[in-house]
Amino acid sequence: MEPLLTVEQSLLQGMTAQAAFDGQPANLVTLQNVNGMRVVLMDIGATWLSCQVPLKDGVREVLLGVNTMADFIAHQSFMGVTVGRYANRIAKGCFSVDGNDYHVSTNQAGNTLHGGEEGFDKRRWSIESQSANTVTFSLVSEDGDQGFPGKVNATVTYSITDDNQVAIGYKATTDTTTPVNLTNHAYFNLMGAESGTDCREHRLMIAADRYLPTNEVGIPHGELVSVEGTGFDFREAKLVSQDFMSDEDQVPAKGYDHSYLFDAERDTQHPVAVVTSPDACITLSVFTDKPAMQLYTGNWLAGTPNRSGGEYSDYAGLALETQYLPDSPNHPEWEQPSCFLKPGEEYRFQTVYQFDC
């Protein structure tokens, strides 16, 4: 537990003391509700920096993060950022649109990860509007940005409600057909970001019958498979550690770093994922109208700076990244809406994180 103002003041001081990528200091926004729950957001990367959940004996910071801009610039784990233009991976950075071939920025093992070398996470988003409980960030991604076709106008709106929901709404338009896939890359540890608790001791439910196997660098083999009889089956809540590393598909990734496809006909009023802290004090329910979600158990977090001047260990937090399936531009056969946004259309999705204490 940390005093409420300690977390917030530390962020305000540390994140603005040094210039961001563009040479100017960051701008931070705090949203709050009547219960004392607060979230801190930043215009650099439209980033979710902090989520302080009130409990009977204080507040608990449940998001992994950093306290200084120097650490934010240096770290490679995408903590809390908005990623795009295309979240997750595109094989070899290659895809085709209307007969035209494109090769976009590659930044991991010869593939494109989270938009390339200078993805949306490294940009200063404009603060379009804000109130006590809502803020909207906007970004213009010009034609040719990281090699992607078309000019994209994107907005991300964060809202906090009095029943302890954090809602993230995504919108985008384009003047040329282009793949768009936005998500937030928050890492959750419901015992507390600096508690040292392993995220594998959380209980997890994922309402999905199929997952997507990948190769040693996270690129899909091409076919979704049933979770039945595998360690990827979270249809009934279980400890993340229960079947950890029990599948051949988990070994190259050092754990879970895989996407689940949801039933297209599902009731979106029901959660796609539910996480419970080891002490059962906090339950996080995730609701979304996006077609899929990447479960990542922080397998490569070791060495990432934390807020206390130290470093996180592997498995310090888990990410639940709602999105299209990875490498979707090259797999039109998958049973999900097209990841290609066309002129005259609007990319429009929402993900809600409900915290119950």
65-114 confidence digits (pLDDT tens): 999 999 999 999 999 999 999 999 999 999 999 999 999 999 999 999 99
* Rg, Å, the chain Cα set: 19
Whether pTM > 0.95 for this model: the answer is: yes
Residue whose entry in the numeric block shows the structure tokens 């029901």: 270
Instruction: Report which residue type is found at 13.
Output: Q
Whole-number average pLDDT of the chain: 96
Give the span between the Cα atoms of 74 and 14, in whole angstroms. 14
Please indicate if the annotation marks 114 as binding a ligand.
Answer: no
Q: Is residue 5's pLDDT more than 80?
A: no
Q: Is 265 one of the catalytic residues?
A: no
pLDDT in tens, 156-180: 999 999 999 999 999 999 999 999 9
Rounded Cα–Cα distance for residues 202 and 197 (Å): 9
Sheet containing 47-55, strands listed edge to edge, beginning at the edge strand earlier in sequence: 28-32, 38-42, 47-55, 58-61
Catalytic, out of 8, 61, 194, 321: 321
198 has binding-site annotation: no
321 is catalytic: yes
Domain at 4-184, CATH class: mainly beta
When mean pLDDT is compared across 2-6, 234-238, 262-266, 312-316, the lowest value belongs to: 2-6
Residue 4 pLDDT > 70, yes or no?
Answer: no
Tell me the torsion sign for CA atoms 100, 170, 38, 283: negative
Tens digit of each residue's pLDDT (9 = 90 or more) over 285-327: 999 999 999 999 999 999 999 998 999 999 999 999 999 999 9
Catalytic residue (one of 61, 75, 114, 185): 185
Residue 1, pLDDT score: 47
Residue 186 labelled as part of a binding site: yes
Mean pLDDT computed over 237-256:
97
Stretch 226-238: mean pLDDT: 98
What number is the average pLDDT over the span 205-232?
Answer: 96
Which residues lie closer than 8 Å to 93 by C-beta, 6 or more apart?
A: 103, 104, 105, 106, 110, 111, 112, 116, 147
89 labelled as ligand-binding? yes
pLDDT at 6: 64
Other Cβ atoms less than 10 A from the Cβ of 173: the count is: 19
Residue 258 annotated as lining a ligand binding site: no
Per-residue model confidence as pLDDT tens digits over 113-139: 999 999 999 999 999 999 999 999 999
Say if residue 257 carries a ligand binding annotation. yes
**Beta strand 183-184 pairing with 203-206:** unpaired
